[in-house]
Homo-oligomer: A and B are copies of this chain.
Amino acid sequence: MTVDFNDYFWGEKNNGFDVLYHNMKYGLVASKEMTDFFRERSNIEESNSKMMTKLANKAGSGCIHGTFAPVWAVLKGSAERLSSLHLQMVQKITELVKDITKYAEELHKKHKAVKEEEAGTLEAVQAMQASTHAVQKAKELYTSRMQEIEKLKKDNCSPKDLEKAETKLRKQHDDYRNLVEKHNPIKMEFERRMTSTCKRFQDIEEAHLKQMREFLTTYIELLQTNHDMVGQVHTEFKRQFVEMTVDKLLEQFVLNKYTGLEKPG
């Protein structure tokens, strides 16, 4: 199903324009919220990068004596690599935030232009709403005049009173007819303008959502790439660790700390 705004924003109150106009403005809100969201996401990465550097330093200050010393070097290297991956992520998200901020600024300008250019539709909507209201009121008044006459007839009122009421009814009928005649071109103008405005708002919305989805697609790619690289750090860490068997650690210790190979003569 492909949606067509032109099918959905009519209705008795003629406030489809209002809904579509506000929706367009919410698009700007969403783009600003998206920059906030990614800024927060970038803060998380920055904090992670700092904490990983701290962790690397902790591993680096691990006891350099004893058999376990080489393991600290591996833990340090791994934490350092994670720290730098988080920092990379900060940089990438920051670029993304810049792009979205730029987009939001352009969107804001675009919305201002749309507001001006759609002023005619807004007037047509207001005219339509006012005219619809007036026709409705006139119709109601005409109906109540009719009921008045029927009541007078039923109550056998004087011919003078009846004539007075019939004059009022005729006047109301003329008013009603005049309003209906005026209403028709207003309605046509409204329909004409709304049809093109619906299309315009749909075009704007489609372009906006397409752009927002592109930002998110970039974000998802960043997440995925970063996640893969973190996985590689873990895999490399595991590989190095697996190689550090007990025998290898003892061997390294002995090479560094042996005191002499010959027993006392």
Contacts and interface: CB of A to CB of B under 8 A. Distances in A.
B249 A209 contact: yes
Contact of A30 (B1, B14, B15, B68): B68
A226 B187 CA distance: 62
A247 B44 contact: no
Interface string A72-88: 10010000000000000
Contacts of A9: 258-260
Contacts of A27: 66-68
A36 B11 contact: no
A261 B66 contact: no
Contacts of A224: 234, 238
A191 B7 CA distance: 100
A68 B212 contact: yes
Interface in A204-236: 205-206, 208-210, 212-213, 216-217, 220, 223-224, 227, 230-231, 234
A159 interface: no
Interface in A247-265: 247, 249-251, 253-254, 257-264
* Copies of this protein in the complex: 2
Contacts of A230: 227
A55 B40 contact: yes
A30 B234 contact: no
A44 B58 CA distance: 13
A103 interface: no
A55 B58 CA distance: 28
A2 interface: yes
Interface string A117-133: 00000000000100010
30 contacts: A5-B254, A8-B260, A9-B258, A9-B260, A10-B261, A10-B263, A11-B261, A13-B259, A13-B260, A14-B264, A16-B259, A19-B257, A26-B68, A29-B63, A30-B63, A33-B62, A37-B62, A40-B58, A44-B55, A67-B209, A68-B212, A190-B264, A206-B246, A213-B241, A220-B234, A220-B238, A223-B237, A224-B234, A227-B227, A227-B230
